[in-house]
Chain A
């Protein structure tokens, strides 16, 4: 349980992501209504919810890609809606995002994809940038020759690893993952989980992970946020297991939930 005890015993650190009173509407339909969320530094938070409960929308709003109807979102202590372009870019350089299908720039090689944020946001000499890219490629477990390949030449699992390497290019504080194990076979998914866990520990990352993979939730997440009733309930797995809410109960006590818990025990 990843340093959670020590975090709780010391003075409460200010949350790296702080959402207050978030309201999201699409036309007449309200997706989030008064949603509050704190993500603590150094934790792995898994976000789950039925389809249409606004998991991806929440992610986009925290990333500043979408503007909520109401509410305040603070990322690393800054209100992202009211930042100058420059300050906002600065906050964004401290976050890394792995999109569901990698979202690698298809016209560039993997190495160029990883080097792009470094080229744009730093004044490092080209040789050092290439070196950093090589390190990141190795860190995510890609073979050295993957750097010269284009995304179309990679398998699904390798694209995700390359996307992860790009997300880590600027050594962010917060890593956002959108369904990181979706579309991977069980072995690849388990390997990806352990990769995320080891990177999280070695780099001291805070991880915000939207996922449906119950194995990921039970093995690597410190806390789980469940989107229900237009708001969110954050708790540890043990607490969710005794939650009487019907959706939460069905989610964690369904056949898949039970199997995942057995496997992790």
Chain B
């Protein structure tokens, strides 16, 4: 039996009968008992060992018990835990445990595990009442949000002051940096923004045509397109795509520089991180976003025109004629006037979250996500405020 058991885990109760099988556990031991453990007491045999220990039944009558560990082939911390648990259980039941035959190489391990078991380990917070936790969570989140809003406004002020100082001394403005970011934000976004705006125009025209056909008012699809694309969809699509593309890039770039202590290095060189990193990005964003929005308007209308021609046989000429009667410069401006505001919001959020990065690379990822979500959220909220304002002004 030993030969087989050498690779497995076993524990026997002696002198009484040992139940057969590998992970054998013996019957009841009366009076002075003897337990013999052997085989591999390791992580991979822990299941068998637990079963063997559970199968072990010692009588309630306590007395001296000998725990022989001479047969152990291998022992790791899990096995040691189980054996210590057994000894503790026996002691609690009133047995006087005497461990015998421990191999010298196992003594240190058993001592270490026993010592570690004594030290009280904190496993994080003790559980609270879930409802109270939830209310506390809502409160914490609200305070955090209010604080974030305050800090963001503070940051806007800081950037404004820095910008004003730069206006007094324009030679300090990093023109190369501004142009670089215009290329990144504006030029490089043209393909994706163009394609998406075109497709949105196509979809709008198709859906509009479907409905308007019922009234025989197919031509009014042009009005629908003109107003919705120029006033809302063009600028909103642009702002959302730019927040996702460039707002996140701002956070990631500045955040990585923060982790790498490059921002600190700028500070120690007698330079201003806001002036060097934030202002050029904000200016580039405020240049690029209005241009992109106009481009998105054109591409959206173009997509609509193509679809109108394909499904409704409205020629480009007719489309443009109808467009001229449907929308005026007011409509175009009502859309584009929002662009610089959205640009400022996206740039501020992106740079602010980037500068908030501390220490770890993980926080770059977290704050990049946050920057995109916050940027898009603020863009849509401000867009709604603009709608209210425009309706009050009657634009």
Contacts and interface: CB of A to CB of B under 8 A. Distances in A.
Interface of A: 60, 63-65, 85, 88-93, 95, 97, 99-101, 103-106, 116-117, 120-121, 176
Contacts of B271: 89, 120
B61 to A, nearest CB: 53
11 contacts: A60-B264, A63-B267, A63-B268, A65-B264, A89-B270, A99-B264, A101-B260, A103-B260, A103-B261, A103-B264, A117-B269
Contacts of B267: 63-65
B262 interface: yes
Contacts of B270: 88-93, 117, 120-121
A89 B270 CA distance: 4
Interface of B: 256-257, 260-262, 264-265, 267-272
B264 A92 contact: no
B322 to A, nearest CB: 50
Contact of B268 (A92, A100, A105, A121): A92
Contacts of A104: 262
A113 B261 CA distance: 14
Nearest to B172: A120
B265 A103 contact: yes
Nearest to A95: B268
A100 B262 CA distance: 11
A97 B265 contact: yes
Q: Choose among A92, A103, A105 the residue with the greatest number of B CB atoms under 10 Å from its CB.
A: A103
Nearest to B271: A120
A97 B260 contact: no
B261 A105 contact: no
A97 to B, nearest CB: 4
A65 B260 CA distance: 15
Nearest to B265: A103
Contacts of B256: 106
Q: Choose among B256, B262, B265, B271 the residue with the greatest number of A CB atoms under 10 Å from its CB.
A: B265
Nearest to A120: B271
Contacts of A93: 269-270
Closest 5 CB pairs of A and B: A89-B270, A92-B270, A103-B261, A103-B265, A99-B261
A121 B271 CA distance: 9
Nearest to A86: B270
A53 B264 CA distance: 21
A95 B267 CA distance: 12
A92 B269 CA distance: 6
A106 B269 contact: no
Contacts of A176: 268
A97 B262 contact: no
B44 to A, nearest CB: 37
Contacts of A100: 261
B228 to A, nearest CB: 41
B254 to A, nearest CB: 12
Given A64-B268, A95-B268, A99-B261, 9 more contacts: A63-B267, A85-B272, A93-B269, A105-B257, A106-B260, A117-B270, A120-B271, A121-B270, A176-B268
Given A93-B270, A116-B269, A106 B262 contact: yes
A90 B270 CA distance: 7
Nearest to B269: A117
Nearest to B266: A105
A92 to B, nearest CB: 4
Contacts of A117: 269-270
Nearest to A178: B261
A89 B267 CA distance: 9
Contacts of B262: 103-106
A43 B256 CA distance: 35
A22 B261 CA distance: 24
A64 B264 CA distance: 10
B107 to A, nearest CB: 26
Contacts of B261: 99-101, 103
Q: Choose among B260, B267, B270 the residue with the greatest number of A CB atoms under 10 Å from its CB.
A: B270
A257 B262 CA distance: 33
Q: Choose among A64, A85, A93, A97 the residue with the greatest number of B CB atoms under 10 Å from its CB.
A: A97
A116 B262 CA distance: 13
